[in-house]
Chains A and B, each alone.
Chain A
Amino acid sequence: MTPLRLALADLGFDRLRTMLSIAGMASVIVCAMLLGAMAAALSDFLAVPSTGSNLIILDGNYVDPSDSTLPDEVMRAAEALGPQLVSRVSPLFFRQLRVNDRLVQVRAAPLADWAGAQHLSLQSGRWPNIGNEVVIGEGLADSAGWNLGSVLIIYGRPMTVTGTFRSPGVAFAAVYMPLELARDLFGPDRLTQIVTVQVALGADGETVSARLAADPEIAGRFVVFYEDTYTRRNTELLRDLLNLMYVGSGLALLAVGMGAYMASALHLAERPRESALLRLSGFSVAQVSAYLLLRTEMLAAGAFCIGVPLASAWMSALYADGPAYVFNVPIRLTADPNRVAIFAALTALSAFAGALVSTAGLLRASVAQGLRS
């Protein structure tokens, strides 16, 4: 009787117990898979390309920059540093507005700066011409179900979507319009909430930043950040969430090991005699260990074979009416084959460790002790 055959016979003997053990571990594997998929989706999203040494200036007294207004002196102070240090200074306007019954961030910047200082890249359609035309971030297109040709009512005026863009940072959920259109719509005043400063090629960002911060027009009232730093600060919540998910899916995998430990410890506690009997019949400690480990690995494999398809089915069901959204971020959950393979390895490993811990003590005891229990 090979250890494998023994394990199969044993598991087949008490089917109800076997199924309960498998179901318990499978539910934990589903959790681990879902959390892992969410973490992966979030980390994909958070792996935003850098905006390099772009600097931004904003009003340090406001929590939400859209409440503030930067005077023209700020832009002029930045421009005064000259082309050696600064290649472009671009004003950015933004408002939180209700657009077609959704809360949307509407941004405006000079059209000429979109691809440069604002780091937008066109994904579909075209950039707006003069007229009531806007582009939308692909995250927004996805979550709101808007696409090319959609008409958005912005500040009471119908606007046509001419394209979708991708951008680093937090503009994924924004509507962009040319500054001229914003001026027409909202009036010419108070249209700058953030000044984006593109540091000249070859210039040192730190130097530019320090010069700006020390400028009499800026010092005391306005603050200077790297745009990346600002983005990171804005996505901090998501990052925390991501870390939580990593921890959660790690804990879930640990729970698989615990489940294996429990299943095998329970088995040994209930029927300590069996392993003693095997040793009595001439099985070595190694052979008995192999049987017990295989038994646990087979439970884990069963749990995996149920848990993974269940998790995948769940994810595609969640997905049936579009992706899930976390803070307007489309989260696509997928059972990526690489991740499944890693999970398989980790599940096997944690089950192995769990079984090893529970069997080690038992097999150190004498055969007679096992028989007496």
Chain B
Amino acid sequence: MDTPPVPRPLVDVVPLVRAEGLSRHYTRGSEIVDALADITLDIPRGAFAVVLGPSGCGKSTLLHLLGGIERPSQGAVTVDGVSLERASEAELTRFRRRSVGFIFQFYNLLPFISADENVALPLLAVGQARADALRAARAILDQMGLGARRGHRPAELSGGEQQRVAIARAIITRPPLILADEPTGDLDAAGAEAVVSMLRDLARDGQHTIVMATHNQRLVQASDQVIRLSSGRREPR
């Protein structure tokens, strides 16, 4: 007996990230570098996707395009309902505030403010009261076991601690998309494992979609989806 298909909820149907024919080239002198060519992909909500490939294959460029901090040369990219290739600077600012959090290999914390202020930055950027923002930041740092370190400047923290501060900063606004660019690259095995499991947990609770770039084949195990890149192009499986 045929049963009519059960309509799946809309959130599952519309992927959080959709890219079509996405390209980015740079001019270096007279030479044109195709950092990324003709990338098409969907990443559903709640997924833990890994962008895998050797150094220079275009992983960072892809993440920058998905995060709205770089504009594509060609193609379309829609994230959380925003068509980034068409968005104005003001729309991109709004998108960054609401939809995306970044984590990097080298943490990228502001050196001249304390850990809790770094974590609170995204809330302060949208005008939240300082006391409230710092309270929220400290709550997350407590959860991550960094409560005692909240007043320290980045230079006073270990690499693993700085990366946890950076993760706290990326998630404080609860953005649907978290982009992690080689987040374990500068960490020892234990630190790397801690970061990956933290990201996996974030994806698992369904609130966040993770896109992690790495050249480390072993990290693929943790993922729901692998996007392999080679010389700026997507490799078929």
Contacts and interface: CB of A to CB of B under 8 A. Distances in A.
A372 B64 CA distance: 11
A94 to B, nearest CB: 70
B89 A285 contact: yes
Nearest to B126: A282
Contacts of B113: 1, 6, 9
Given A1-B121, A1-B124, A371 B108 contact: yes
Contacts of B90: 284
B117 A1 contact: yes
Contact of B125 (A12, A281, A368): A281
B149 interface: no
B69 A13 contact: no
A274 B113 CA distance: 11
A285 B130 CA distance: 20
A277 B102 CA distance: 10
B125 A283 contact: yes
Contacts of A285: 89, 93
Interface in A1-36: 1-2, 5-6, 9-10, 12-14
A153 to B, nearest CB: 71
B70 interface: yes
Contacts of A284: 90, 93, 125
B169 interface: yes
A5 B109 CA distance: 16
A284 B127 CA distance: 12
Given A366-B69, A366-B71, A368-B64, A282 B93 contact: yes
Nearest to A274: B110
Interface residues of A, number: 28
B120 interface: yes
Nearest to A2: B124
A277 B110 CA distance: 8
Interface in A264-296: 273-274, 276-285, 287
Given A1-B120, A282-B96, A277 B108 contact: yes
B122 interface: yes
B96 to A, nearest CB: 5
B216 to A, nearest CB: 21
Contact of B108 (A5, A9, A13, A273): A273
Nearest to A12: B112
Contact of B121 (A12, A281, A371): A281
Nearest to B175: A282
Instruction: Tell me the interface secondary structure of chain A in the complex.
Output: helix
A366 B60 CA distance: 14
Contact of A282 (B111, B112, B125, B130): B125
Contact of A287 (B69, B108, B125): B125
A366 B70 contact: yes
Nearest to A283: B125
B97 interface: yes
A276 B69 CA distance: 9
Contacts of A154: none
Nearest to B153: A13
A148 interface: no
A367 interface: yes
B122 A282 contact: yes
Contact of B69 (A12, A14, A367): A367
Interface in A165-184: none
Contact of B112 (A13, A283, A367, A372): A13
B124 A367 contact: no
Contacts of A371: 64, 69, 104, 108
Interface string B43-72: 000000000000000001100100101110
Nearest to B98: A282
B233 to A, nearest CB: 20
Contacts of A14: 112
Contacts of A13: 111-112
A281 B112 contact: no
A9 B112 contact: yes
Given A10-B112, A273-B108, A281 B122 contact: yes
Contacts of B61: 368
Contacts of A6: 113
A279 B93 CA distance: 8
Contacts of A12: 112
B69 A282 contact: no
Contacts of A274: 110
A285 B88 CA distance: 12
A10, A14, A273, A366, most chain B CB atoms within 10 A: A366
Nearest to B114: A9
B161 to A, nearest CB: 18
A23 to B, nearest CB: 20
B124 A368 contact: no
A10 B111 CA distance: 9
Contacts of B102: 280
A283 to B, nearest CB: 5
Interface of B: 60-61, 64, 67, 69-71, 89-90, 93, 96-97, 102, 104, 108-113, 117, 120-122, 124-126, 130, 169, 173
16 contacts: A1-B120, A1-B130, A2-B130, A5-B130, A12-B112, A278-B125, A279-B93, A282-B97, A283-B121, A283-B125, A285-B93, A366-B70, A367-B69, A367-B70, A368-B69, A369-B70
Given A1-B124, A372-B60, 6 more contacts: A1-B117, A1-B125, A277-B108, A283-B121, A368-B64, A371-B69
